């Protein structure tokens, strides 16, 4: 059976790239106006208690005492001194958060925050495979994998390669507009193989594409051939469209999982430590945290209340749910205003994103109310994105 045709939404931003991406990393720091910035990839999204403590200590000792969350579930430390790079790398190595220095900027993955152990294990194995290959550092720092537990939450974040848990226990691999059914045990290797197919296509196109949607129209991504050469059994699934699900809302998910959002995606180290004790802390691409494994509803409710007192958003009907902001001033020289101080609670139904300039860094997917600074404390409001 031939594979289905690429869907239009997977293409359409083709242009020529004449340089590598400039994405910051844990080792390649970005010099911002408020000091150096380090971006730490958390491929599985999971932090242990010890890792939370080490990161909080590092933000206090080396940075500005805050941690920022990104729309890819990464953590950023800001306000780092010029000579902090080596010290931060030591902390990350000690925490087990830097398994491969060569690969640290390509470990870009989003995982359904409420995923069970099997889907979590796909993400961990995919990360290990990424870090074990010589060719994967050729991927750009923008290339994104999604490992979705079937609810469609991270599949909706425009990833380049998606693994989706299917109801029959298999995995669906979605890349370049095509979908394949693979055995669950093969899922991580199939996702990595698909990334290899993209790189081959990017080389053939010669346009320096960082992402699948940047490939020129008509440039084939030979996923089928790569899967065959990797001896991976894959059944094409024609006309499959990955689901677009909603992220977990702040509050309780089930009886034993606590979900909170960080207001405007930034927490103090005291707030970060307030997430503990926890069996694990999951960082979400919606700038929040998930704490699973509470013994019962009463224990989870008690923790939710404590996190509300610590300043987290804990209710879906909070006017701050769905309000995001770029870095703005003083961290970003391009910003026309102090965006984070200017941001206001949401009044309408759509998410609201506040930006200091037209780049709109970190804006949400789908439709949103767009507040772009036009001067000090002045904003232009429009609705952006698709309302479909």
CB of 325 to ligand SF4, least distance (A): 8
CB of 328 to ligand SF4, least distance (A): 5
Return the H-helix or E-strand segment holding 199: helix 187-205
User: To 5 degrees, how large is the angle CA 166–CA 172–CA 175?
Assistant: 150
Sequence length of the chain is 388
CB of 76 to ligand SF4, least distance (A): 12
Strands 251-253, 234-236: pairing kind: unpaired
DSSP letter for 313, please: B
* Distances 86 to 33, 43, 90, 360 between C-alpha atoms, Å: 20, 22, 6, 31
CB of 153 to ligand SF4, least distance (A): 25
Give whichever of 32 and 115 is closer to ligand SF4, judged by the CB atom: 32
Give whichever of 78 and 151 is closer to ligand SF4, judged by the CB atom: 78
* Distances 323 to 1, 73, 258, 267 between C-alpha atoms, Å: 45, 16, 20, 15
Which tokens is 295 given? 């013994």
CB of 79 to ligand SF4, least distance (A): 15
Euclidean distance between CA atoms 262 and 371, whole angstroms: 20
Give whichever of 190 and 326 is closer to ligand SF4, judged by the CB atom: 326
Give whichever of 75 and 332 is closer to ligand SF4, judged by the CB atom: 332
Q: Are 5 and 236 contacting, i.e. CB atoms less than 8 angstroms apart?
A: no
Give whichever of 251 and 328 is closer to ligand SF4, judged by the CB atom: 328
Give whichever of 93 and 359 is closer to ligand SF4, judged by the CB atom: 359
**Residues at the contact surface with ligand SF4, assessed by CB under 6 A:** 326-328, 332, 334-335, 355-357, 359-361
CB of 266 to ligand SF4, least distance (A): 13
Rg (CA), the chain: 20
CB of 356 to ligand SF4, least distance (A): 3
Q: What is the Cβ-side half-sphere exposure of residue 46, based on CA atoms within 13 angstroms?
A: 18
CB of 326 to ligand SF4, least distance (A): 3
Tell which residue, 70, 32, 24, 81, has the closest CA to residue 332.
32
Give me the residue label for tokens 């694990």.
280
Euclidean distance between CA atoms 288 and 250, whole angstroms: 8
Give whichever of 34 and 280 is closer to ligand SF4, judged by the CB atom: 34
Give whichever of 193 and 335 is closer to ligand SF4, judged by the CB atom: 335
Mapped onto helix, strand or coil, the DSSP state of residue 267 is strand
Euclidean distance between CA atoms 232 and 228, whole angstroms: 6
Q: List 293's β-bridge partners, or say none.
A: none
Strands (E) in the chain, as ranges, are 30-32, 35-40, 46-47, 66-69, 75-80, 109-111, 145-148, 161-165, 171-175, 178-182, 234-236, 251-253, 257-261, 266-268, 281-284, 288-291, 323-325, 352-355, 368-375, 378-384
Euclidean distance between CA atoms 140 and 199, whole angstroms: 10
Give whichever of 63 and 265 is closer to ligand SF4, judged by the CB atom: 265
CB of 342 to ligand SF4, least distance (A): 12
Give whichever of 186 and 370 is closer to ligand SF4, judged by the CB atom: 370
CB of 55 to ligand SF4, least distance (A): 22
């Amino acid at each position: 059976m031939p594979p289905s045709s690429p869907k239009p939404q997977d293409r359409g931003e083709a242009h020529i790239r004449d340089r590598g991406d400039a994405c910051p990393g844990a080792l390649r720091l970005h010099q911002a106006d408020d000091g150096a910035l380090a971006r730490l990839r958390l491929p599985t999204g999971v932090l242990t208690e010890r890792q939370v403590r080490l990161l909080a200590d590092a933000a206090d000792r080396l940075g500005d005492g805050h941690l920022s969350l990104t729309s890819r579930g990464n953590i950023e430390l800001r306000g780092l001194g010029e000579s902090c790079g080596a010290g931060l790398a030591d902390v990350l190595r000690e925490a087990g958060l830097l398994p491969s220095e060569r690969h640290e900027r390509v470990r870009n993955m989003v995982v359904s925050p409420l995923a069970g152990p099997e889907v979590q294990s796909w993400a961990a194995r995919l990360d290990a495979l990424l870090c074990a290959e010589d060719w994967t550092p050729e991927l750009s720092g923008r290339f994104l994998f999604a490992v979705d537990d079937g609810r469609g939450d991270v599949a909706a974040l425009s990833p380049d390669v998606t693994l989706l848990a299917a109801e029959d226990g298999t995995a669906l691999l979605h890349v370049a507009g095509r979908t394949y059914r693979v055995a669950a045990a093969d899922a991580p290797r199939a996702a990595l193989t698909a990334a290899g197919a993209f790189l081959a296509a990017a080389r053939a196109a010669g346009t320096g594409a960082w992402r699948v949607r940047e490939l020129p129209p008509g440039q084939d991504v030979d996923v089928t051939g790569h899967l065959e050469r990797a001896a991976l059994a894959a059944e094409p699934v024609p006309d499959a469209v990955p689901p677009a699900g909603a992220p977990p809302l702040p509050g309780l998910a089930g009886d034993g999982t606590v979900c909170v959002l960080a207001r405007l995606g930034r927490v103090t180290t005291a707030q970060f430590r307030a997430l503990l004790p926890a069996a694990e802390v999951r960082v979400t691409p919606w700038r929040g945290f998930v704490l699973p494994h509470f013994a019962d509803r009463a224990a989870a409710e008690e923790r939710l209340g404590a996190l509300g007192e610590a300043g987290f958003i804990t209710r879906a009907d909070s006017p701050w749910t769905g309000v995001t902001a770029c870095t703005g001033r003083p961290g970003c020289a391009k910003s026309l205003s102090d965006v984070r101080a200017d941001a206001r609670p949401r009044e309408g139904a759509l998410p609201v994103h506040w930006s200091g300039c037209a780049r709109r860094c970190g804006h949400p997917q789908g439709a949103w109310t767009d507040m772009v600074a036009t001067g000090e404390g002045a904003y232009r409001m429009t609705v952006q994105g698709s309302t479909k």
